[in-house]
Each structure stands twice: as C-alpha cells, then as structure tokens.
Amino acid sequence: MPEPSHDGCARGVVAACRRLSAAAARGAGPAELAGILAAGVGAPVTVLAGTRVVAATGPPLTPADGVAAVVPPGAGQVVVGRPAGPVPAELLCLAAEHAALACAAARDPAGAARRDLLEALLLGRAHHDGELARWAAHLGHDGRPHAVAVLVPHRDPAAAEAEIRRHAPTAMVTARPDEVVAVLGADTPAAAVDRAVALADQLGVAAAGIGDAYCAAADVARSYGEARRALAVARRRSGAERVLTFRDLGVNRLLARFPDLAELRSFGEEVIGRLLDEEAATGMPYLATLTAYFQVNGSPSQAARRLHVHPNTIAYRMRRIEELTGLRLGEQRDRLMAEVAVEIVAGMGRA
C-alpha cells in the first residue's frame, strides 16, 4: 500500500486537533484525550502528572521517548511516541501541544482556567498571544460566533455564576464584585446574541448588555466593550427594557466606536448641558420629555400620552427646553444636534 502523503498526515492531525477541542469542551478526561490523539497521529501517547502516568495508550512513555508538550500551567506533560507512518515532527509537536491544552481544560472542573482565560481575553491579549487563542479553542471557543453578555444580577454574582454554569456548561464565565461576564456561542451570530438574551431573561437580572457575536477569540474584547456600552444605557432605563443588545442602541453603535469619547461627551454637554443643570436643580424631567418627543417624531400630543401628562405640560417643557439650549427644534439642523446629544448623554453620561 502507498504511504500516506504529508498533506494526508496534516489533514489527519488537524482533524484530531478538532476532536480534541470538542472533547475538552464537554469535559473529557485524559484517557479519552490520549486515545483521540493516538488515533489521529498513529502513535502511542502518554499523559504524565509529574512522573506519574495519568493515561497511556500503550507502554508508558517518558519525555525522552518522543515529542513532549507541557500541560499548562506546568502541571504535567503529554508525550507522543514514534508514529507508525511518516508524520512530520512539526505536526507531532502541534498535535502534542493541542493535547496538552485539552488536558489542562479537562483538569478544570471548577472553571478556574476558563475564568483566567476570559479575563485575559477581555483585556484583548488574544490579539498578540497565539497560545491564548489556541487555549480558548479547548475551553469552548470553537470558532463559531460568540457573544459577550455583561449581567448585573439581583443576587450575589458568585451564585449567578454558578447558575449560569448549570444552564450553559460550555460557556466561559467570570464573576466580578458587581457583575457577571459570560461568553456564549452558537451556530450563527444572531443565534449567539439570542442565546445571551435568553440567558439574561432566564436569570431575571437587574440589567444586562449584550455585545455583537464574532468568531475569533481575539474579538471577545470587542464584544465585551459593546456589551458594556449597552449595559450603560440599560442601567439608565426604567421598566422592561433592562436587557439591551448592542444592536438595540441605534446611533449609539456608531458613537461607541468614535475614537475620542471625551470629545463626544463634550459635544453633549455643549448642546444640552444647561438643560441637564436645570433638571438637576428643579427636578423637571426635561431629558425624558425630549427623548419622548423625538421618539414620536415631534408630536406633543403623543409625547404627552407616552409620559402620562397633559399636552400643555409638554408644550411648556418644550418651550423651556428651547430657551435653555438656544435650539429651535423645528429646524432640522438643531433637531439633529439635540437628538445626537440626547443619545450621547443616555449612552455615556455627562462629561
């Protein structure tokens, strides 16, 4: 029979690495992972913890017997022996490294590695740390779209984290002092976002922001930033709209990507700062009135119904708003400035 080509070997190793990732994500043990690797490369495999043999597909090997990769964070080694076929050494190294990372995930029933990984991803380290991105694959970030949810639970964040792990065991989750961050995957971007929204609704959170879904582990930081922007808006709202996705934010999606947020806040302050000062001094809900007015396309009667006040009250407030801001809301340019300023303040707060 002809010997397998190097391309064929590469495909077999890649397939084995994918099976390792899937097995690690569902919590497979070292013995199963060693078996997957051995079948993929056609070589005996031994998993060591120190010098103790944890799993072996044949006679136990030592690091001197083949290619060895360290199980993070230095907790052991995966040793791959001499393959039956002509598998290039670099492919054996790659396969051994994948298996080592998968074993690290298998040793993590409490989710400590997932938490550490997520904190690193949130800091954007995956953009310049290839090993971190590979580890992410073994901990559940499998190349499908993933969305970040930032949740403010009614209960203790640690209890909320435990509940999320029950509902979504493959999610990466970390609890902070006042929030829980979760990364959830699905087959499509829309499904990943919907899954995050459903989780927030299921937990009954005080507020939540959901970022867009991306396939690359390096984009977790981007989705996290979007989720925090959505959360900031959600926490300022009352009523049912306490769970917001980044896509719900309308023009704030563009504002959130503006490179100089201080400049945005300065613009909002310049346009409606005096109005906000007057509201703080008198308690008159000018900002809510202006928001309702824009939402109903400038109809005082509809704004009055939305706010449950008399139309004359809306008319008085709108006159006062124009006096305080110097804007003429019947003019398109002034109305656009006011709408953008309201969105900035609603989404980012004052300068």
Residues 263 and 271: beta-carbon distance below 8 Å: no
Answer whether residue 57 is part of any domain: yes
Q: From CA 133, how far away is CA 117, in angstroms rounded?
A: 9
- Collapsing DSSP to helix, strand or coil, 183 comes out as strand
Burial 142-173 (b: 16+ CB within 10 A, else e): beebbbbbbbbbeeebeebbebbbeebebbbb
Answer whether residue 85 is part of any domain: yes
140: CATH: 3.30.70
Structural domain that includes position 72 = 6-106
Note down pLDDT in tens along the chain; length 351 residues: 344 455 667 787 888 888 887 787 677 888 999 999 999 889 999 999 888 898 999 999 999 998 888 876 566 789 999 888 777 888 888 888 888 877 776 666 555 666 777 788 888 876 666 666 766 776 667 788 999 999 998 888 888 888 888 888 878 888 888 899 999 999 999 999 999 999 999 888 889 999 999 998 889 999 999 999 888 878 776 555 689 999 888 777 777 667 677 888 899 999 999 999 999 999 999 999 999 999 899 999 999 999 999 999 999 999 999 999 999 999 999 999 999 999 888 777 776
Say how many domains are in the chain.
Answer: 3
Answer whether residue 155 is part of any domain: yes
283: CATH: 1.10.10.2840
Burial class (CB in 10 A: 0-12, 13-18, 19+), 22: middle
Based on the domain organization, do 31 and 125 belong to the same domain? no
CB atoms under 10 Å from CB of 250, counted, come to: 11
Based on the domain organization, do 218 and 154 belong to the same domain? yes
The residue assigned the tokens 């050494």 is 89
Q: From CA 321, how far away is CA 294, in angstroms rounded?
A: 13
Q: From CA 311, how far away is CA 314, in angstroms rounded?
A: 5
